[in-house]
């Protein structure tokens, strides 16, 4: 006996697994944001990346990755399509040739400006289903995960 999980245990996992629920939520939210931003031919992940880059100015790849809580190699690859479109510019540092510096271009600045109403609109839309209290608590609690 005991070769299988009980049905109750299976249901426990399926119904309460926080990883599964969060992932599902992200899939939904990503689709909403991507659809909204598709008019500017940009994705939610990319939009956030551009904004972060704009906020940080000229910044080493690794520093930007840390700021975003992203793996260095992931960020590196995420930048590729943006650099191809000249929304981002990267180059090796003069002081330390190991370091790749990242900065947003004028076109990139222009795009985040133009896309802002789209972001604002879908952000409002999606946030509507959350009451403010829950959302604030959520953000706070997510912070704790970092540590």
Partner DNA sequence: TGACAATACGTGTATATGCACGTATGCTGG
Partner DNA sequence: CCAGCATACGTGCATATACACGTATTGTCA
Residue 1 is a binding residue for a second copy (CB under 8 A): no
Cβ closest to a second copy, residue 22 vs residue 92:
22
CB of 146 to a second copy, least distance (A): 7
Please enumerate, as own/partner, the contacts of 116-125 that have beta carbons within 8 Å and a separation of 24 or more: 118/36, 118/37, 118/39, 118/40, 119/33, 119/36, 119/37, 119/47, 121/36, 122/32, 122/33, 122/35, 122/36, 122/37, 125/32, 125/36
Q: Which of 33, 36, 37, 46 binds DNA (CB under 7 A)?
A: 46
Q: Which of 61, 63, 70, 99 binds a second copy (CB under 8 A)?
A: 70
Phi and psi torsions of 65, nearest 5°: -60, -45
Cβ closest to a second copy, residue 38 vs residue 137:
137
Of 22-30, 57-65, 83-91, 92-100, which segment contacts a second copy by CB under 8 A?
22-30
Of 4-12, 92-100, 104-112, 127-135, which segment contacts DNA by CB under 7 A?
92-100
Contact present, 105 and 113 (Cβ < 8 Å)? no
């Amino acid at each position: 006996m005991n070769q299988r999980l009980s049905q109750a245990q299976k249901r426990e996992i399926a119904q309460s697994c926080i990883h599964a629920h969060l992932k599902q939520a992200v899939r939904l939210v990503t689709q909403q944001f991507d659809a909204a931003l598709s008019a500017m031919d940009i994705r939610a992940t990319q939009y956030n990346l551009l904004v972060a880059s704009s906020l940080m100015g000229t910044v080493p790849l690794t520093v930007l990755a840390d700021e975003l809580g992203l793996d260095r190699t992931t960020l590196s690859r995420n930048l590729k399509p943006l650099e191809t479109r000249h929304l981002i510019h990267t180059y090796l540092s003069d002081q330390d040739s190991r370091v790749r510096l990242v900065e947003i271009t004028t076109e990139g600045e222009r795009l985040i400006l133009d896309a802002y109403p789209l972001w604002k609109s879908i952000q409002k839309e999606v946030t509507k289903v959350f009451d403010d209290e829950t959302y604030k608590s959520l953000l706070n609690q997510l912070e704790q995960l970092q540590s």
